[in-house]
């Protein structure tokens, strides 16, 4: 993916913002494509509460296509051996598959090489790695870490700890009233005291897409490094770390139709090389004496102990799956769902939808004084899975004057019909629960 793809995404967002909001549902051909994709996800054929499952909790975790489930099982059936260790054929094959998975991730996000791709458990672990290694090494009293008001707890709590340990100060970029990042606030707070900007690409509550390339450009002008939390964007948008000029970028396999227990840290090579290891032990060393050790090459320096080999190999299959569909096509499908859902949700009596007009398919809402857990339970009785609560974004909810809200979030297999069922159930909730 290149700059053009990214700027066409941005144009797509602008078009959505400008579009007549009563836009019709995805046309027949696209709906037929989605039917074919849905059929690949076995869990979607389940009934829930006696009705076909409508799974709208994709921002929490996505479902897995059969081929990804098979890839994980196949590793154990045909290729299971520890990596980097054996000199026997089976171990070499397992190592090759595991290395190939890193290479596939590097191609998917356009990293310069697989040395810039570290496999971890999830986005949270990737951020902790950067915070504990880069953060503690580089930050000191007087420095500032700039976060945004829309960060997930995963991109807040590790930095609070770094601030506590180093004496660096946390500062916050606020949101506008309609749920976008306040870029004026960002400009005013981006001084040469800022050493790191930690920012989410897509808000897991508001659905906002932040202008990452622009934020990184400005941060670099004051000499700050930028960590991009791509947990919500990796499954929805083309990601190009070179076009972004990103320093660090993190995501989780399970939010992109891949397995749980595998996640990715992308780090610019020279940064990773200069960073101390995060976890120490086997595999991340070159030599060990009784007194000391020397570190292995990238990325293995950061992958101590036996890694999640099966998860890594299944993540490669996930990437193959997404690449065959094409991220532009996924983006178009999701934007069609947004155009279909947003005006209908906004018409539900008593419902307030949070976040801006231009967004991804993440819809957080409140309904009068009904608690989001009651609303989610009401929808669950109708076979519709949504999440209620604070969505691990308590500082954001506090700044919105809320403690909780409900959230429906789409995936590549959701249809206009799924969203119609959500809207009808919410209309019913308004009649019955208020
Ligand atoms: N960042 C964002 C924006 C998220 O939405 C999430 C999960 O919801 C995370 C980070 C953490 O992801 P994980 O729990 O897979 O580490």
Q: Is the pLDDT of residue 11 over 50?
A: no
Helix residue spans in 290-403 (DSSP H): 309-325, 327-346, 372-380, 394-399
Cβ 252 under 6 angstroms from ligand 1: yes
Ligand 1 mean position to 123 CA, how many Å? Answer: 6
pLDDT at 16 over 80: no
Q: Determine the residue of 58, 62, 123 to mutate for testing ligand 1's pocket, defined as the one with the most ligand atoms within 8 A of the Cβ atom.
A: 123
Which letter, b or e, does each residue of 158-193 get, where b requires 16 or more Cβ atoms within 10 Å of its Cβ? bbeebbeebebeebbbebeeebbbbeebbeebbeeb
Active site residue 175: no
Could you tell me the two tokens for 421? 């069922």
Contacts (Cβ under 8 Å, ≥6 apart) of 94: 75, 79, 80, 81, 82, 83, 309
- pLDDT tens sequence across 102-141: 999 999 999 999 999 999 999 999 999 999 999 999 999 9
DSSP 32-61: HHHHHHHTT-GGGG-EETTEE-EE-BTTT-
pLDDT tens-place string over residues 69-96: 999 999 999 999 999 877 899 999 999 9
For 189-247, how does the pLDDT look when each residue is reduced to its tens digit (9 = 90+)?
A: 999 999 999 999 999 999 999 999 999 999 999 999 999 999 999 999 999 999 999 99
Q: In terms of C-beta distances under 8 Å and separation of at least 24 residues, what long-range contacts does 246-249 make, across chains too?
A: 246/212, 246/216, 247/216, 247/271, 248/126, 248/130, 248/134, 249/109
Ligand 1 centroid–CA 217 distance in Å is: 24
Q: How far is the CA of 230 from the centre of ligand 1 (A)?
A: 9
Find out whether 152 and 125 touch, Cβ atoms under 8 Å.
Answer: no
Torsion of CA 392, 394, 395, 401, to 10 degrees: 140
Determine whether the shortest distance from the Cβ of 234 to ligand 1 is under 6 A. Answer: no
Mean pLDDT in the chain?
A: 93
Retrieve residue 150's tokens. 């829309």
| Token pair belonging to 104 | 């596939």
Please work out whether the CB of residue 154 comes within 6 Å of at least one atom of ligand 1: yes
- pLDDT for 237 equals 96
In the predicted model, is pLDDT for residue 17 greater than 60?
Answer: no
Q: CA-based diameter of the chain, in Å? A: 72
Residue 392 alpha carbon, nearest atom of ligand 1: 8
Is the beta carbon of 124 within 6 A of some atom in ligand 1?
yes
Q: How far is the CA of 393 from the centre of ligand 1 (A)?
A: 10
- Bridge partners of 104, per DSSP, are none
- Please answer whether residues 254 and 278 qualify as being in contact, where contact means their C-beta atoms are separated by less than 8 angstroms: no
In degrees, rounded to 5, the angle at the alpha carbon of residue 10 between the alpha carbons of residues 26 and 319 is 70
Ligand 1 pocket, residue 229 CB under 6 Å:
yes
- How buried is 285 (Cβ within 10 angstroms: 0-12 exposed, 13-18 middle, 19+ buried)? middle
* Cβ atoms of 140 and 167 closer than 8 Å: yes
Ordered DSSP codes for 353-374 = E-S-SS--SEEEEEETTB-HHH
Nearest ligand 1 atom to alpha carbon 124: 16
Say if ligand 1 is within 6 A of residue 231 CB: yes
Say whether pLDDT at 12 is over 60: no
Which candidate, 274, 200, 192, places its Cα nearest to that of 232? 200
User: Average pLDDT in the 38-65 region?
Assistant: 97
CA proximity to 203, closest of 360, 373, 34? 360
Alpha-carbon distance of 258 to 68, in angstroms, equals: 7
pLDDT digits (tens, 9 = 90+) for 396-418: 999 999 999 999 999 999 999 99
Domain architecture of the chain: domains with CATH: 89-323 (3.40.640.10), 327-433 (3.90.1150.10)
Token pair, residue 130, equals 């950067």
Model confidence at 24: pLDDT above 50: no
- Dihedral sign for Cα atoms in the order 10, 12, 14, 17: negative
Contact between 104 and 316 under an 8 Å Cβ cutoff? The reply is yes
Q: How far is the CA of 124 from the centre of ligand 1 (A)?
A: 6
pLDDT one-digit tens code per residue, 335-365: 999 999 999 999 999 999 999 999 999 999 9
54: CA distance to ligand 1 center in Å?
22
Q: Of 279, 392, 402, 433, which residue is the catalytic one?
A: 392
Q: Is the beta carbon of 318 within 6 A of some atom in ligand 1?
A: no
DSSP state of 184: H
Helix (H) or strand (E) holding 7: helix 3-18
pLDDT at residue number 169: 98
Tens-digit pLDDT profile for residues 292-305: 999 999 999 999 99
Q: How far is Cα 179 from Cα 198, in angstroms, rounded to an integer? A: 18
Substitution candidate for ligand 1 out of 232, 260, 360, 364 with most atoms within 8 A of CB:
232
Predicted pLDDT of residue 434: 77
Distance 232 CA to ligand 1 centre (A): 7
Length of the chain: 434
What residues contact 276, with CB distance under 8 A and at least 6 apart? 133, 137
Rounded to an integer, the average pLDDT of 251-278 is 98
Higher pLDDT among residues 11 and 142, named by residue? 142
Considering only CA atoms, which residue is closest to atom 5 of ligand 1? 204
Whether 58 is in the pocket of ligand 1, judged by its Cβ within 6 Å, is no
Atom 12 of ligand 1, residue of closest alpha carbon = 123
Write out the H or E segment, with its range, that includes residue 244.
Answer: helix 241-244
Q: Is pLDDT at 14 greater than 60 in this prediction?
A: no
Q: What is the predicted pLDDT for the residue at 85? A: 78
The atom number, within ligand 1, closest to the CA of 200 reads 3
Tell me the torsion sign for CA atoms 322, 325, 326, 331.
Answer: negative
């Amino acid at each position: 993916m290149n700059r053009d793809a990214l700027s066409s995404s941005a144009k797509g967002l602008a078009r959505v913002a400008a579009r007549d909001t009563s836009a019709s549902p995805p046309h027949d051909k696209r709906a037929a494509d989605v039917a074919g994709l849905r059929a690949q996800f076995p869990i979607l054929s389940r009934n829930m509460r006696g009705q076909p499952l409508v799974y709208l909790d994709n921002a929490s975790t996505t479902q897995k296509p059969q081929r990804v489930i098979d890839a994980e099982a196949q590793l154990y059936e045909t290729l299971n051996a520890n990596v980097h260790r054996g000199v026997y054929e089976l171990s070499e094959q397992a190592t090759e598959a595991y290395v190939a998975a890193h290479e596939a991730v590097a191609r998917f996000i356009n990293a310069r090489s697989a040395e810039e791709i570290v496999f971890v458990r999830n986005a949270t672990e990737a951020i902790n790695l950067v915070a504990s290694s880069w953060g503690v090494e580089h930050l000191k009293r007087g420095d500032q870490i700039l976060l945004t008001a829309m960060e997930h707890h995963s991109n807040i709590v590790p930095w609070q700890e770094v601030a506590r340990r180093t004496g660096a100060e946390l500062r916050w970029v606020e949101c506008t009233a309609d749920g976008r990042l306040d870029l004026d606030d960002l400009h005013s707070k981006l001084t040469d005291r800022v050493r790191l900007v930690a920012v989410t690409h897509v808000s897991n509550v508001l659905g906002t897409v932040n202008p990452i390339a622009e934020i990184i450009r400005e941060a670099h002008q004051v000499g700050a490094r930028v960590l991009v939390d791509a947990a919500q964007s990796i499954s929805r948008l083309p990601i190009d770390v070179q076009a972004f000029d990103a320093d660090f970028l993190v995501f989780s396999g399970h939010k992109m139709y891949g397995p749980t227990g595998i996640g990715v840290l992308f780090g610019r090579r020279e940064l990773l090389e200069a960073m101390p290891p995060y976890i120490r032990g086997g595999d991340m060393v070159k030599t060990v004496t009784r007194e000391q050790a020397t570190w292995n090459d990238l990325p293995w320096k950061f992958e101590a102990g036996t890694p999640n080999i099966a998860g890594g190999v299944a993540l490669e299959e996930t990437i193959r799956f997404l690449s065959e569909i094409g991220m532009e096509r996924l983006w178009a499908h999701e934007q069609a769902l947004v155009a279909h859902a947003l005006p209908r949700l906004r018409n539900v009596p008593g419902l307030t939808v949070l976040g801006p007009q231009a967004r991804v398919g993440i819809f957080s809402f409140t309904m009068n004084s009904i608690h989001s857990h009651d609303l989610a339970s009401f929808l669950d009785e109708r076979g519709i899975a949504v999440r209620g609560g604070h969505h691990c974004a308590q500082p954001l909810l506090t700044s919105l004057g809320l403690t909780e809200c409900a959230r429906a979030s789409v995936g590549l297999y959701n249809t206009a019909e799924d969203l119609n069922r959500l809207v009808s159930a919410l209309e019913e909730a308004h009649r019955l629960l208020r």
